[in-house]
């Protein structure tokens, strides 16, 4: 039997898990659910059980599983031309570059594949800009980051993480980073003024992986102002928060809900560099992007950065379809409306509960804090029980459960999910 024939055969849950256990590196700890199909807000396991997806592949599947417009664009392009590399031009990349830069309001885009690659690209861009435009002496540039950050898994990125699990025994680490407390404007001001070698400030507008920490209302605006006053690049990593997840096209849009570029809006804070990934493809394909204006992006010259797959025609077609879906289906407004219902309903339950202590978040990026220690397995056990009750979510940092469904959810579905979550939490009341 060929491997493709074998793949089309139905595997049972135990068999599929056993294969991953034996042949795959153990770099993840998945819930014991084996998924084989997805559509909209639902996924099905190999036994045919249906679940609400409340993780959306860590906020990549904002447009819902297997969105027909996105899959259609992908299939059509895959049957025509998949990869040329950047050794040649292709007839989709320029069209996409024009579309995505207009959509987000920047002069230029540098296309990559994964979020971590886009962050790496940004760090290189920021350093090169610092040496060639700002006049910092070579090898002396410093980039400010925040405690509790999550920007990916490469060696440089984990060098400025303070998550021991992500760092330990992966040294020696890359130098050139200063970490400050998140949402601490005085600490930022102090760090920016601590040296003439500060090149940029890299920040998640909401810290997703850390447990969905939303900073104070004016933090992003004030942070940008400090950066601007000191010729320091303000860099927003919106890999997780971007593309309508938090109830705006970008989290840096503040309270604005329009689905296209909105730099005219009062609430908007324009980053000097914007990093996108995940939902830029609706979860159909790895597509990431770094956006900046010419004065920054033009420091990169041929041969200085790239990727075999970055900017391939399938990625270009998929990303254009994925962004059109966000606007056509009003996903930011929907995320905003449903997110409020989610927090209101969970908030009411928490007032009377001793198993959950807090619900926080923005749009449909939310977290519930479980009343137990970070080391306890209570949140994990709740997630296992949620799965049994037909809803998939995952703890982040031990006692925090993140809830991030696809943004195509209806209010009726959301209310159904809220009931599942509350009933499940009730089973764990102490
Ligand atoms: C804010 C942020 N940046 C970067 C990344 C890394 O993206 P990827 O996993 O595609 O490398 C993530 C992933 O969760 C993220 O949340």
- State the catalytic residues: 150, 237, 278
Sequential pLDDT tens for the chain (430 residues):
787 777 777 899 999 999 999 999 999 999 999 999 999 999 999 999 999 999 999 999 999 999 999 999 999 999 999 999 999 999 999 999 999 999 999 999 999 999 999 999 999 999 999 999 999 999 999 999 999 999 999 999 999 999 999 999 999 999 999 999 999 999 999 999 999 999 999 999 999 999 999 999 999 999 999 999 999 999 999 999 999 999 999 999 887 766 555 545 678 899 999 999 999 999 999 999 999 999 999 999 999 999 999 999 999 999 999 999 999 999 999 999 999 999 999 999 999 999 999 999 999 999 999 999 989 999 999 999 999 999 999 998 889 999 999 999 999 999 999 999 999 999 999 7
Tell me what pLDDT residue 259 has: 54
Mutating to test ligand 1, I would choose from 161, 277, 289, 365 the residue with most ligand atoms within 8 A of its C-beta, which is: 277
Nearest to 111 by CA among 127, 94, 126: 94
Residue at token pair 């449909």: 364
Q: How far apart are CA 425 and CA 430, in angstroms?
A: 10
Q: Whose CA is nearest to atom 16 of ligand 1?
A: 240
Domain boundaries, the chain: 3-63+331-426, 69-328
Tell me what pLDDT residue 263 has: 47
Q: How far apart are CA 426 and CA 403, in angstroms?
A: 17
SS3 assignment for the chain = CCHHHHHCCCCCHHHHHHHHHHHCCCCCCCCCCCEEEEEECEEEECCCCEEEECCHHHHCCCCCECCHHHHHHHHHHHCCCCCCCCCCCCCCHHHHHHHHHHHHCCCEEEEECCHHHHHHHHHHHHHHHHHHHHCCCCCCCEEEEECCCCCCCCHHHHHCCCCHHHHCCCCCCCCCEEEECCCCHHHHHHHHHCCCCEEEEEECCCECCCCCECCCCCHHHHHHHHHHHCCCEEEEECCCCCCCCCCCCCHHHCCCCCCCCCCCCCCCCCCCEEEECHHHHCCCCCCEEEEECHHHHCCCCCCCCCCCCCCCHHHHHHHHHHHHHHHHCCHHHHHHHHHHHHHHHHHHHHHCCCCEEEEEEECCEEEEEECCCCCCCHHHHHHHHHHHCCEECEEECCCEEEECCCCCCCHHHHHHHHHHHHHHHHHCCC
CA of 379 to the centre of ligand 1 (A): 22
Mutating to test ligand 1, I would choose from 118, 122, 152 the residue with most ligand atoms within 8 A of its C-beta, which is: 152
Ligand 1 atom having least distance to the Cα of 116: 11
Segment 92-112, tens digit of pLDDT: 999 999 999 999 999 999 999
Ligand 1 atom having least distance to the Cα of 149: 1
Domain 3-63+331-426 class in CATH: alpha beta
List the end-to-end C-alpha distance of the chain, in Å, as a whole number. 53
Beta carbons of 382 and 428 less than 8 angstroms apart: yes
Q: How far apart are CA 195 and CA 189, in angstroms?
A: 11
Nearest to 105 by CA among 267, 278, 268: 268
User: What residues does ligand 1 touch, defined as CB less than 6 Å away?
Assistant: 58, 114-116, 119, 150-152, 204, 208-209, 237, 239-240, 277
CA of 178 to the centre of ligand 1 (A): 20
Q: How far apart are CA 182 and CA 95, in angstroms?
A: 38
Return the number of other C-beta atoms located less than 10 Å from residue 81's C-beta. 14
Q: How far apart are CA 398 and CA 378, in angstroms?
A: 8
The CATH code belonging to domain 69-328 is 3.40.640.10
Q: Whose CA is nearest to atom 8 of ligand 1?
A: 115
CA of 256 to the centre of ligand 1 (A): 24
Which sign, positive or negative, has the C-alpha torsion 203, 206, 208, 214?
positive
Mutating to test ligand 1, I would choose from 62, 112, 118, 150 the residue with most ligand atoms within 8 A of its C-beta, which is: 150
Tell me what pLDDT residue 41 has: 98
Beta carbons of 63 and 325 less than 8 angstroms apart: yes
Beta carbons of 99 and 111 less than 8 angstroms apart: no
Coil/strand/helix, residue 66: coil
Nearest to 416 by CA among 391, 392, 394: 391
Q: What does the block give as tokens for 63?
A: 């447009």
Residue at token pair 């084996």: 34
pTM score above 0.95? yes
* Chain centre distance of CA 105: 20
Q: Whose CA is nearest to atom 4 of ligand 1?
A: 151
Q: How far apart are CA 135 and CA 132, in angstroms?
A: 6
CA angle 40, 43, 47 (to 5 degrees): 150
Q: Whose CA is nearest to atom 3 of ligand 1?
A: 151
CA of 120 to the centre of ligand 1 (A): 11
Q: How far apart are CA 230 and CA 385, in angstroms?
A: 51
Beta carbons of 178 and 144 less than 8 angstroms apart: yes
Ligand 1 atom having least distance to the Cα of 204: 1
CA of 272 to the centre of ligand 1 (A): 19
Ligand 1 atom having least distance to the Cα of 58: 14
Q: Whose CA is nearest to atom 2 of ligand 1?
A: 151
């Amino acid at each position: 039997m060929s491997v493709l024939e074998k793949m089309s055969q139905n595997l049972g849950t135990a068999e599929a898990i056993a294969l991953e256990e034996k042949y795959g590196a153990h770099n993840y700890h998945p819930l014991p659910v084996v998924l084989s199909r997805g559509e909209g807000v639902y996924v099905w396991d190999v036994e045919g059980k249906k679940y609400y997806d409340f993780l959306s592949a860590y906020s990549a599947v904002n447009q819902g599983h297997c969105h027909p417009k996105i899959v259609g664009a992908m299939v059509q392009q895959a049957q025509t031309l998949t990869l040329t590399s950047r050794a040649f031009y292709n007839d989709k990349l320029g069209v996409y570059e024009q579309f995505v830069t207009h959509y987000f309001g920047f002069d230029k885009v540098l296309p990559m594949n994964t979020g971590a690659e886009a962050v790496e690209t940004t760090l290189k861009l920021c350093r090169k800009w610092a040496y060639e435009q700002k006049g910092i002496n070579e090898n002396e540039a410093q980039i400010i980051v925040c405690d509790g950050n999550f920007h990916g898994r490469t060696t440089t990125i984990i060098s400025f993480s303070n998550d021991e699990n992500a760092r330990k025994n992966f040294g020696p680490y890359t130098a050139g980073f200063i970490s400050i407390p998140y949402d601490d404007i005085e600490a930022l001001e102090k760090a920016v003024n601590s040296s003439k070698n500060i090149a940029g400030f890299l920040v998640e507008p909401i810290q997703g992986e850390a447990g969905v920490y939303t900073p104070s209302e004016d933090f992003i605006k004030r942070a940008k102002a400090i950066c601007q006053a000191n010729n320091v690049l303000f860099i927003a990593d919106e890999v997780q928060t971007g593309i309508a997840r938090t109830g705006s096209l970008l989290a840096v849009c503040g309270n604005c809900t329009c689905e296209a570029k909105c730099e005219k809006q009062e609430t908007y804070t324009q980053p000097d560099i914007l990093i996108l990934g995940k939902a830029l493809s609706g979860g159909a394909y790895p597509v990431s992007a770094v956006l900046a204006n010419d004065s920054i992006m033009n420091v990169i010259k041929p041969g200085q950065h790239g990727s075999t797959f970055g900017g391939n025609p399938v990625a270009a077609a998929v990303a254009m379809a994925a962004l059109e879906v966000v606007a056509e289906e009003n996903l930011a407004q929907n995320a905003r409306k449903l997110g409020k219902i989610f927090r209101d309903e969970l908030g009411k339950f928490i007032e009377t509960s001793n198993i959950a202590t807090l619900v926080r978040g923005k749009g449909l990026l939310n977290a519930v804090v479980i009343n137990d220690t970070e080391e306890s397995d209570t949140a994990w056990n709740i997630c296992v029980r949620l799965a049994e009750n037909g809803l998939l979510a995952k703890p982040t940092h031990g006692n925090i459960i993140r809830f991030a469904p696809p943004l195509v959810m209806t209010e009726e579905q959301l209310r159904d999910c809220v009931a599942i979550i509350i009933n499940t939490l009730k089973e764990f009341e102490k």
